[in-house]
Structure 1
Amino acid sequence: MPALRRLARLALASTTPAGRAVILLGLVSTVVAAEAGYEEFRLIAVMCGLLVLVALLLFALPTRVRARLELRPAHTIAGETGLGELQVTNLRLTPLYHPLVSVPLDAERDDRRGAQRVHVRMPVLRRNQPVVEQFEVPAVRRGVLRVGPAGARRTDPLGFFQRQAAWSSAAELLVRPRMVSVEGLGPGSVKDLEGTPSDQVSMSDLAFHALREYVRGDDLRHVHWRSSARAGRLYVRQYHDTRRSHVVVLVDDNRAAYADPEDFELALQIAASVVMRVALDEFDLSLVCGPQQLSGAAHHVLDAFCYSELAAGDLVVSARTAAHLAPDASQLIVVSGSRLDLGLLADVRAAFADDVRFLGFRADLGADPDETGARAPQLITVDRLERLPGLLAAHVRGIVL
C-alpha cells in the first residue's frame, strides 16, 4: 500500500491539467454509462482510457540523452557572472527539436536570492551529434554555488504528463570575494637565498654591500685580499641579507566580532585584496580563517574564502594555529570586525616571534569615514572596500587619517 500511494502521488504530480481533464472525463463517462446505460458515454470512457494509456507508455520511454555540464573556469568573483558549458548528445533514433534545458542554481547559501534557473535553448539534436552551448551563471554572493543538474521537461506527445528529467550531474561554482588593487604591504622579511636585498647587513649572503676593516672573529673566507694588500690592513666583505616575506593572513571568524554579517563579507574582501598583493610580490602565503588553514598559491587561498563562514571561532587559538602552520612567518595580517576585543591583539602577536611585523584591519561598514583611526589606532578601519588602497597606502607611509 505505501508503494501504491507513492506511485499515485508521483502520477498526480506528473499529470498536467490536460491529463487531469481527460482522466476526469473518462471517470464521469464511465459512471454515466453504468448508471444510465448510454453507449456513447461508454465509448467516450474507452477513448479517454486509451489516450491516457498511450500517453503513459510514451511518457515512460527513456530520454536517451548524454549530457556533460562544466564550468570554465570553476570560479568567479562576487557580482560577476560565471561561464557554463553544456554538451548534449542525442542517443535516440529520432531528433530532438530545440529542447529547452533548465539548469537550477542552488540558493541555500542566500535565501534572499530565491530559487533560480538558467534556461538554455538547444538547437536540433540529431542522433550521435554532440552539441555544445554556453550560458552565463549569475554569481551575486560569495560562496559555493551548486549549478545543475541540467535537464529538460519530459512530456508525452499528447501533453498529459510531464516531469523534469536530469541529463547531467551538478557542478560547483566557487564565488570569490570582491577585490581591489592595493600597494605594497611594507617590509617584513626572513632569510631566503632567492629573495630580494633588505636593509639588514650580514657577513654571509649573496648581495654585496661594502668593505670594512677586519675585526677579530671574522671569517677569513670573506677577506678581500686585493684591498687588504693595497691598504696594508685586512678588509672583509659585508653583504645585504637577502630576504623573502612569508605573510600570514589571519581572518577572525568569530561572529561576536562583527556587528553585522556584511562586515564579515567586507573582512573577506579585505583579506582577498591583501592575498592578491602578496601574490604579485611573489611572497610565501598562509591563511587561517576558522577551519580554512592552508599555505600555498594565491588561487588556492582565494578558493578557501568561498567556504569561509561565521562561527564561534577563537582568534587567539587561530593565531597559534597560524604560527604553527608558518613558523618562518615575517608578517602577520589580522582582519576582524568592529566588535573585536582589542585586548586579544597582545595574545595574537605573542603567538609569533618578536620580529614578525603586524598589520591589522577592522571591517566596519558603519564606521565614520572621518574617524577611521580614532577608535582603534593600531588597526586600519575600513568602511568601504574602495577606500582600502588609500587607507593602506597612508598607513605604510606613516600617515594617520
Structure 2
Amino acid sequence: MDAVGLTNTRARIVGARTGVLADAVVGVVRAARAVGSVSLRVLRRLSAVVSPLGWVVLALIPAALGIGYAFGWLEFVATGWASVALAVVGAIALIGRAPYRMSLQLPHRRAVVGEAARGAISVRNTSSRRTLAAVLEVPVADGVVELGLPGLRGGTTRTEDFAIPTAKRGVIKVGPVRTVRGDPLGLVRRELEWTDGLELVVHPRTVSVPSTSTGLIRDLEGSPTRDLTSSDVAFHALREYQAGDDRRHIHWKSTAKTGTYMVRQFEQTRRSHLVVALSLSTHDFASEEEFELAVSVAGSLGVRAVRDGRTVAVVVSALTPEFAKRRVYAVRPLAVHLPERLLDDLATVDAAATALPLRDIARVVADDIPGISVAFLVCGSRTTAQELRACAARFPVDVEVVAIVCDPEAIPGLRRIAGLNVLTIGYLEELRLALARSAAVA
C-alpha cells in the first residue's frame, strides 16, 4: 500500500509490483542508465580530442581487420594494423601534462579605436626538467593568435607579448590561453586551458570639446538668462515697486533720491541640464560610417559635460523586441557618473532596425526628462529637415535644441531651422569648430 500514489521512476517502470522479477527489471534499467552515462562522458571526451581524420582511422580498424581476416586479404589486414599503430601513437601523444603555470595580463583594460593594444602571457616551468617547445593559442574576438613557446629550463619564466586588433569599437574577449598537443598527422588534438579569459573594452574616438563650446548653456557657472525675476543672484536693474514685491529687495538709496519705492530686478539663473540623445535606428543613418561618427560625437559631448561637472543625461534608443505586439517608446540612459563608464556603455551600442528613431526619441526625452536647458540630438544624413523640425517642436520654447547631423559626404555647416541649430559635420574633428560657431550664433 506504501507504493500507491508514487510517481517516481520505479513506479513508471514496474508500477506497484514487488518481488524478484520487478527488482531485476529495475536493476537492469539502472545498470543501463549507468553504462549509458559513462559511455556518453567517454564519447564527449573523445569527440573533444579526436579529429575527423582520427575518427576515420578508428573506423578503419574493425572494418579492415574484419574483412582481411574473414576473406584472407592481406592488404586489409595490413591497413587495419597500420591504423592500430597510428591510433596508439596518437594516444601516446595525449599522455601527460606540461608543468606550466601561466597568467594572462592586459596592461590596460580599455583602449580607443585604432590605437595599439597589447596583451602578455607569462609562462613559468614549475618543474626541474626542461620542457619541449609548445604552441600557445589565444582566442581574440573571432580569431586566434598563435604564439610559439620554446623549451624552458626548470624554474624559468618567459613572457610572450601579442597585439590585439582595435579596428572596431566594442568589447573584445581575450583568452583563455590554451596549449595544443597532438600527433604529427593530426589524428588527435588536445586543448588545455591555463588561464581565465579577460575583456578589453574598445571605446569610440572622441575629441576634446572646450567648455566654451557649450556657450548655449546659461547657468550659475556661466551667463545668466535673459529672463527677469524679482529674486536671484545676478543683478539687472532697478524698477518701481509693485504690489507683491519682496520688501527685502527695496533699494533704499534710490528710493530716497526719487521719492518712489525702487526694487532690485535680477536676471534669472538656473543650473543647466544637458541631454545628449543618440539615435540607434538604421532609419536615421545611410551607412555604418555615419553611425560610428555619431557615436563618437555623443561620446565627446557627454565626456565634456561630465568632466565639467554639469548635470547631463546621455540616452540612446530603446529596442523593440522581435515578437512584441507594439513598438517600445522609451530611451535607455547610459552611465554618466564617470567619463570611462559612459564610454564603456557607448562601446556596446549598435544600430538596429527595431530601435526608436530620432523623432520618437525627442518626444520621449521632452516628456520624461524635466528641466532640460540644452538638448543635443545626434543623427545621420537620412534624418530629414521636416523630422528635425518635428523634434524641436517637442521641446519647450526655452530649451536650446541642437541637431548634429553626421554625414561624411556633405559640406560641413551651420543652419537655423525653425527653432533649432543644425550642425552638419563630416569628420569628428569638425565638431569643435561647429559647436563654437553655434555658440557664437546663440
TM-score by shorter chain over 0.5: yes
Could you give the per-residue CA deviations for residues 325-345 of structure 1, whole angstroms, max 9, x where no partner exists? 532221101111111133333
Q: Distance in 1 between matches of 2:53 and 2:440?
A: 70
- When residues 285 and 87 of structure 1 are mapped into structure 2, their CA distance, relative to the original with a 3 A threshold, is farther
2:207 counterpart SS class:
coil
- When residues 147 and 337 of structure 1 are mapped into structure 2, their CA distance, relative to the original with a 3 A threshold, is same
Q: Distance in 2 between matches of 1:148 and 1:95?
A: 26
Q: Distance in 1 between matches of 2:408 and 2:51?
A: 47
Tell me the residue number matched to 2:15.
none
Does 2:54 align with 1:13? no
Q: What is the RMSD computed on CA atoms of the aligned residues?
A: 4.7
Tell me the residue number matched to 2:343.
302
- When residues 5 and 121 of structure 1 are mapped into structure 2, their CA distance, relative to the original with a 3 A threshold, is closer
Could you give the per-residue CA deviations for residues 64-84 of structure 1, whole angstroms, max 9, x where no partner exists? 755444544322211112343
Task: Specify which structure has the higher proportion of strand.
Answer: 1
Tell me the residue number matched to 1:393.
436
Code of the aligned partner of 2:51: A
Counting only pairs closer than 5 Å after superposition, residues 152-167 of structure 1 correspond to structure 2 as: 152-155=179-182, 161-167=188-194
Q: Distance in 2 between matches of 1:360 and 1:66?
A: 55
- Give the TM-score taking structure 2 as reference length: 0.67
1:185 counterpart SS class:
helix
Q: Distance in 2 between matches of 1:262 and 1:379?
A: 20
Higher relative contact order (CA 8 A, sep 6+): 1
**Percent identical across equivalent pairs?**
27
Offset at residue 246 of structure 1 (A): 1.9
Counting only pairs closer than 5 Å after superposition, residues 276-355 of structure 1 correspond to structure 2 as: 276-291=303-318, 292-297=332-337, 298-311=339-352, 312=354, 313-323=356-366, 326-355=369-398
Counting only pairs closer than 5 Å after superposition, residues 164-183 of structure 1 correspond to structure 2 as: 164-183=191-210
Contact 1:14-1:162 within 8 A present in 2 as well:
no
2:382 counterpart SS class:
coil
Q: Distance in 2 between matches of 1:361 and 1:179?
A: 15
- Give the TM-score taking structure 1 as reference length: 0.72
Could you give the per-residue CA deviations for residues 292-346 of structure 1, whole angstroms, max 9, x where no partner exists? 4235233222222222222232323322333455322211011111111333334
Could you give the per-residue CA deviations for residues 103-152 of structure 1, whole angstroms, max 9, x where no partner exists? 22224xxxxxxxx3334455766778876655431100122222223222
Tell me the residue number matched to 2:167.
140
Could you give the per-residue CA deviations for residues 4-58 of structure 1, whole angstroms, max 9, x where no partner exists? 8877765551879xx97xx99xx79x969x95889xx89x959x85675365145
Offset at residue 248 of structure 1 (A): 0.9
Please tell me whether Structure 1 or Structure 2 has the larger radius of gyration of its CA atoms: 2
Could you give the per-residue CA deviations for residues 176-234 of structure 1, whole angstroms, max 9, x where no partner exists? 22223334433344766xx44535565544x5646746724333444567x57986977
Offset at residue 359 of structure 1 (A): 0.7
Code of the aligned partner of 2:177: A
Q: Distance in 1 between matches of 2:370 and 2:98?
A: 58
- When residues 325 and 101 of structure 1 are mapped into structure 2, their CA distance, relative to the original with a 3 A threshold, is farther
- When residues 15 and 66 of structure 1 are mapped into structure 2, their CA distance, relative to the original with a 3 A threshold, is farther
Q: Distance in 1 between matches of 2:183 and 2:126?
A: 18
Code of the aligned partner of 1:174: V
- When residues 388 and 296 of structure 1 are mapped into structure 2, their CA distance, relative to the original with a 3 A threshold, is closer
Q: Distance in 2 between matches of 1:120 and 1:397?
A: 56
Code of the aligned partner of 1:317: D
- When residues 302 and 9 of structure 1 are mapped into structure 2, their CA distance, relative to the original with a 3 A threshold, is closer
Offset at residue 101 of structure 1 (A): 2.4
Counting only pairs closer than 5 Å after superposition, residues 39-78 of structure 1 correspond to structure 2 as: 45=81, 49=84, 52-53=87-88, 55-62=90-97, 67-78=102-113
Offset at residue 85 of structure 1 (A): 4.2
Q: Distance in 1 between matches of 2:423 and 2:229?
A: 34
Does 2:224 align with 1:198? yes
- When residues 123 and 275 of structure 1 are mapped into structure 2, their CA distance, relative to the original with a 3 A threshold, is farther
Contact 1:197-1:240 within 8 A present in 2 as well:
no
Contact 1:246-1:328 within 8 A present in 2 as well:
yes
2:351 counterpart SS class:
coil
Counting only pairs closer than 5 Å after superposition, residues 108-257 of structure 1 correspond to structure 2 as: 116-120=143-147, 134-155=161-182, 161-183=188-210, 184-189=212-217, 195-200=221-226, 203-205=230-232, 207=233, 209=235, 212=238, 215-216=241-242, 217-222=244-249, 241-257=268-284
